Amino acid sequence: MIPIDCTDPINERVLAVSEDKIAGFVRAPFAEIAKKSDVPLPVVLERIQAMLQAGTVRRVRQTLLATNLAEGALVAWKVSPDRLDEIFEFMFQKDPFSGHVVVRSTDAKIPGQAFRLWTTVKVPAGFSLQEHCEFLKEQTGAETFRLMPAKGIFALGVGHMRRRKIEPGDRVDEPAHMHRVETVHLTPGEWKVLHALKREFRVDEIQEPAWDQRAREAGVSLEEFFAVAESLAARKLIGRFSTFLEHVKPNQSGERVTRFNALFHWAVPAGREIEAGAEVGRHEILTHCYWREGGPEFNNVNIMAVAHGTDKERVLAHKKAIDEHLEEAGIPVTYTNVFWGGRSEIKPSEISPFAYQEWRSSLSAAQAV
């Protein structure tokens, strides 16, 4: 029987690479995983297939830097407590443009503690994020929302298995580089390739060569497919080729990859956001680090980061190490907090302008009946 647990030694080696170490677009992604993990390609294919079929790996796909393809934001929603689950389900099941849907809570006595539902939302270029969230508010009966678009990205990469061994304070040698969020427009031909590129891999598609069928889907030759994909990567529109673990719910063997999901908040003086984000983003425990403006509801926080772990006190030890590093770097913090994640669902946000038009039309037609 093929092992499906994350803790199996071979699976652990594969996942340490496949989660977030295959950056950009790679013509032979599974072969690259094999090379970097020092596991033979047939074994890599067999193990990823088995873990995907068992649900240990929830998806395998080429990720995009969708912040440059669609207007996006972290959104905090204030909803009636007795409707929290109902609105959660709407955001997860009925809005293809909402990605992460998370119930969060904090012990801090701030106005923001009333914002229990947090989502990531993206709308394609040409459509309004504000208008979309107003539409969701009307559809769900949410009381209000706070939009927090990213002004800059300092860290983005989910490698849960690799991060299990990271110690509090572990960080890279240099400050993190900030990726600026700038929307890029694509041609219809590029969108066709992008659609084929980003589709999740089925179990039977875990093979090399990996992209032949995708080129046929896009209606182009393999070389043209590679040329467009590499052009998108050169324009910083491609993220990584990744296996995503089921890290919230127990997998088939009862194993949990993580138990605690923490959203860290820091408020630093205006004008020092890039410096502070670069120092916070150096810490290897973080899966995400952004410059976002939280506004008065969240005591004007402007640096946000996410960390996961199996032990709450260890997650807080990582937070303490980052706080101490900011103090050592001479960056004043006027406020800091932790929002803990509870119930959550994660799916890729749709970013196609064609899909957006169809979705709005379908909802309008349903309401007219």
The stretch 159-172 carries a mean pLDDT of: 77
CA 81/CA 136 separation, integer angstroms: 17
Does the pLDDT of residue 139 top 70, yes or no? yes
CA 159/CA 200 separation, integer angstroms: 18
Q: From 338, 303, 243, 315, select the one nearest 74 (Cα to Cα).
A: 303
Q: What is the pLDDT of residues 196-244, one digit of tens each?
A: 999 999 999 999 999 999 999 999 999 999 999 999 999 888 988 999 8
CA 320/CA 167 separation, integer angstroms: 12
Q: Is 122 left (phi over 0), alpha (psi -120 to 50) or beta?
A: beta
> pTM for the whole thing?
0.78
Looking at residue 249, its pLDDT comes to: 58
Looking at residue 163, its pLDDT comes to: 64
Between 25-29, 228-232, 253-257, 275-279, the lowest mean confidence (pLDDT) is in 253-257
Q: Tell me if residue 296 falls in helix, strand or coil.
A: helix
Q: Tell me if residue 118 falls in helix, strand or coil.
A: strand
Q: Which residues of 26-64 are buried (b: 16+ CB within 10 A; e: fewer)?
A: beebbbbbbeebebebebbbbbbbbbbbbebbbbbbbbb
Does the pLDDT of residue 37 top 70, yes or no? yes
The stretch 22-39 carries a mean pLDDT of: 96
Mean per-residue pLDDT over the chain, rounded: 90
Q: From 259, 254, 244, select the one nearest 312 (Cα to Cα).
A: 259
The alpha helices in the chain, defined as continuous H runs, are: 9-18, 29-37, 41-54, 84-94, 129-140, 160-163, 188-198, 212-218, 222-234, 273-280, 312-328, 353-368
